[in-house]
A and B are shown apart, each in its own frame.
Chain A
Amino acid sequence: MRFLLRRVPQLVVVLFGVSIVTFGLVRLTGDPITVLLGETATQEAIAQMRSELALDRPVHVQYARFIRNALRGDFGDSLRYRQPALTLFVERLPATLELAGAALLLALIIGLPIGITAALRPQSAFDGLVRGLALTGQAIPGFYLGLVAIILFGAQLRLLPTGGRGSLAHLILPAATLAAYQVAIVARFARGAMLEVLGEDYIRTAQAKGLRRLRVIVQHALRNALIPVVTIIALQVGTLLSGAVVTETVFSWPGVGRLAVQAIYTRDFPIVQVTVMVTAALFVAINLLTDLLYVLLDPRVRVGD
Chain B
Amino acid sequence: MLAIDRRIAVGTVAPVVRAATPGRRALRAFLRDRFALAGCVLLAVLAVAALWPVAWLPHPPELSDLDARLIPPAAFRGGTPVHPLGTDNLGRDLLSRMMHGARFSLFVATSAVTIGAVLGIAAGVVAGYRGGLADVVLMRLVDVQLAFPLLLLIIATIAVLGRGLAVLIVILGIPVWAHYARIMRASTLSIAAAQYVEAAKALGGSETRLVARHILPNLATPLVILTTFEIARLLLIESAVSFLGLGIQPPTPSWGTMIADGRNHIYEGWWVSTIPGLGIFVAVLAFNFIGDGLRDVLDPKSHARRTII
| B104 CB within 8 Å of chain A | no
A122 to B296, CA, bound (A): 14
Among listed A13-21, A61-69, A70-78, A293-301, interface-contacting one = A13-21
Q: What 1/0 flags go to B123-161 for Cβ under 8 Å of A?
A: 000000000000000001101101111111101110111
Question: In the complex, which residues of chain A have a beta carbon less than 8 angstroms from the beta carbon of B148?
Answer: 18, 21, 238, 276, 279-280, 283
| B47 CB within 8 Å of chain A | no
- Given known pairs A142-B240, A147-B266, the reply for A29 and B273 (CB within 8 Å) is no
Among listed A80-88, A107-115, A195-203, interface-contacting one = A195-203
Selected contact of B308 from candidates A21, A122, A261, CB within 8 Å: A122
| A171 CB within 8 Å of chain B | no
Query: What is the distance, in angstroms, from B153's C-beta to the closest C-beta of chain A?
Result: 6
A143 to B308, CA, bound (A): 38
A203 to B308, CA, bound (A): 10
A144 to B151, CA, bound (A): 16
- Given known pairs A17-B141, A142-B240, A143-B240, the reply for A199 and B307 (CB within 8 Å) is yes
B306–A17 CB distance below 8 A: no
Selected contact of A198 from candidates B274, B281, B308, CB within 8 Å: B308
When C-beta atoms are compared, the residue in chain B nearest to A267 turns out to be B159
A143 to B260, CA, bound (A): 9
B150–A148 CB distance below 8 A: no
Question: In the complex, which residues of chain A have a beta carbon less than 8 angstroms from the beta carbon of B157?
Answer: 25
A185 to B210, CA, bound (A): 38
A140 to B35, CA, bound (A): 17
B155–A283 CB distance below 8 A: no
- Given known pairs A17-B141, A147-B266, the reply for A242 and B161 (CB within 8 Å) is no
Question: In the complex, which residues of chain A have a beta carbon less than 8 angstroms from the beta carbon of B306?
Answer: 122-123
Question: In the complex, which residues of chain A have a beta carbon less than 8 angstroms from the beta carbon of B153?
Answer: 276
Tell me which residues from 110 to 135 in chain A have a Cβ below 8 Å from any Cβ of chain B. 119-120, 122-123, 131, 135
Query: What is the distance, in angstroms, from A284's C-beta to the closest C-beta of chain B?
Result: 5
Among listed B54-62, B76-84, B216-224, B285-293, interface-contacting one = B285-293
A148–B147 CB distance below 8 A: no
Question: In the complex, which residues of chain A have a beta carbon less than 8 angstroms from the beta carbon of B273?
Answer: 144, 147
B259–A143 CB distance below 8 A: yes
B147–A283 CB distance below 8 A: yes
Question: In the complex, which residues of chain B have a beta carbon less than 8 angstroms from the beta carbon of A249?
Answer: 244
Tell me which residues from 254 to 306 in chain B have a Cβ below 8 Å from any Cβ of chain A. 256, 259, 263, 266-267, 270, 273-274, 277, 280-281, 284-285, 288-289, 292, 304-306
| A225 CB within 8 Å of chain B | no
B160–A29 CB distance below 8 A: yes
Tell me which residues from 149 to 201 in chain A have a Cβ below 8 Å from any Cβ of chain B. 150-151, 155, 192, 195-196, 198-199
B144–A141 CB distance below 8 A: no
| A229 CB within 8 Å of chain B | no
Query: What is the distance, in angstroms, from B236's C-beta to the closest C-beta of chain A?
Result: 5
A195–B236 CB distance below 8 A: no
Question: In the complex, which residues of chain A have a beta carbon less than 8 angstroms from the beta carbon of B277?
Answer: 140-141, 144, 147-148
A147–B259 CB distance below 8 A: yes
Query: What is the distance, in angstroms, from A298's C-beta to the closest C-beta of chain B?
Result: 19
Question: In the complex, which residues of chain A have a beta carbon less than 8 angstroms from the beta carbon of B236?
Answer: 139, 141
Selected contact of A283 from candidates B149, B156, B243, B288, CB within 8 Å: B149
B288–A195 CB distance below 8 A: no
- Given known pairs A147-B263, A199-B305, the reply for A280 and B149 (CB within 8 Å) is yes
| B232 CB within 8 Å of chain A | yes
Question: In the complex, which residues of chain B have a beta carbon less than 8 angstroms from the beta carbon of A140?
Answer: 277, 281, 284
Query: What is the distance, in angstroms, from B65's C-beta to the closest C-beta of chain A?
Result: 25
Mind listing 24 A-B residue pairs with CB under 8 Å?
A10-B140, A17-B140, A17-B147, A18-B144, A28-B161, A119-B308, A139-B232, A139-B284, A140-B284, A141-B236, A141-B243, A141-B277, A142-B240, A143-B259, A144-B259, A148-B274, A151-B266, A192-B305, A195-B305, A196-B305, A246-B243, A260-B155, A272-B159, A279-B148
Which residues of chain B have a CB within 8 Å of any CB of chain A? 35, 140-141, 143-144, 146-153, 155-157, 159-161, 232, 236, 239-240, 243-246, 256, 259, 263, 266-267, 270, 273-274, 277, 280-281, 284-285, 288-289, 292, 304-309
3 A-B pairs closest in CB distance: A17-B144, A144-B277, A242-B151
**With contacts A138-B232, A264-B246, A283-B149 known, what are 11 further pairs, Cβ within 8 A?**
A13-B143, A14-B143, A140-B281, A140-B284, A141-B256, A143-B239, A147-B274, A216-B309, A238-B146, A238-B148, A241-B152
Which residues of chain A have a CB within 8 Å of any CB of chain B? 10, 13-14, 17-18, 21, 25-26, 28-29, 119-120, 122-123, 131, 135-136, 138-144, 147-148, 150-151, 155, 192, 195-196, 198-199, 203, 207, 213, 216, 238-239, 241-243, 245-246, 249, 257, 260-261, 264-265, 267, 272, 275-276, 279-281, 283-284
